[in-house]
A and B are shown apart, each in its own frame.
Chain A
Amino acid sequence: MVKFTIKELNIWFGHVHALKQVSMEIRANEILSVIGPSNSGKTTFLRMLNRLNALNQNFRMAGLIKLEQEDIKNIDTELLRKRVGMVFALPLPLPLSIFENVAYGVRMHGTKNKKVLTKKVEESLKEAYLWEEVKDRLNESAFKLSGGQQQRLCIARTLAVEPEVILFDEPCSGLDPISTAKVEDAMVKLKEKYTIVLVTNNVKQAARVGERTAFFLSGELIELDKTDKVFTAPKDKRTDGYIRGKFG
Chain B
Amino acid sequence: MRKLKEFIVEKLILICGLASIFFVALIFLFLLKEGFSIFKTVSPFNFLFGKSWYPISEPSQMGILPLILGSLLVTAGAAIISIPIGVGCAIYIAEIAPAKIKEILKAGIELLAAIPSVVLGFIGMVTLVPLVKTVFHLPTGLTALSGSIMLAFMAMPTIVSIAEDALYSVPKTYKEGALALGATRWQMIWRVMLPAASSGLLAAVMLGIGRVIGETMAVMMITGNAAVMPNSIFAPVRTLTATIAAEMGEAVVGSEHYFALFAIGIVLFVISFAINVTADLFLHQRQ
Q: Known contacts A94-B192, A95-B195, A95-B196; is A108 also within 8 Å of B176 by CB?
A: no
Q: Are B180 and A81 in contact (CB under 8 A)?
A: yes
Asked whether A85 is an interface residue with its Cβ less than 8 Å from the other chain, the reply is: yes
Closest A residue to B176 by beta carbon equals A52
Q: Are B176 and A81 in contact (CB under 8 A)?
A: no
A72→B88 CA distance, assembly (Å): 32
A109 located at the interface, meaning its Cβ lies under 8 Å from any Cβ of chain B in the complex? yes
Give the secondary structure class of B's interface: helix
Name the interface size band of chain A: 20 to 34
Q: Which residues of A lie under 8 Å from residue B175 when comparing CB positions?
A: 55
1/0 per residue A138-170: CB within 8 Å of B?
000000000000000010011001000000000
Within 8 A of A (CB), among B170-191: 173-184, 187, 191
User: Is A8 positioned at the interface, with any CB of B under 8 Å from its CB?
Assistant: no
Nearest B-chain residue to A89, judged by Cβ? B173
Min CB distance A18 to B, Å, is 17
Q: Is the CB of A52 within 8 A of B179?
A: yes
* B99 (CB) vs chain A CBs: closest residue: A57
Q: From the candidates B99, B176, B181, B184, name the one contacting A105 in the complex (CB within 8 A).
A: B181
- Across the interface, name the chain B residue whose C-beta is closest to A101: B177
Which of A57, A81, A90, A96 has a CB less than 8 Å from the CB of B181?
Answer: A81
Q: How far is the CA of A171 from the CA of B176 in the complex (A)?
A: 15
Residues of A with C-beta under 8 A to B98: 57
CB-based contact A92/B181 at 8 Å: no
Given A94-B192, A95-B195, A108-B187, decide whether A81 and B173 contact each other with a Cβ distance below 8 A: no
Bound-state Cα–Cα, A92 to B172, Å: 11
8 smallest beta-carbon distances between A and B, as pairs = A82-B182, A105-B181, A81-B182, A86-B180, A92-B177, A78-B182, A92-B173, A108-B187
In the assembled complex, 10 residue pairs joining A and B whose CB atoms fall closer than 8 Å, in A order, are: A78-B182, A78-B184, A81-B182, A85-B181, A88-B180, A104-B178, A104-B181, A105-B181, A105-B182, A108-B187
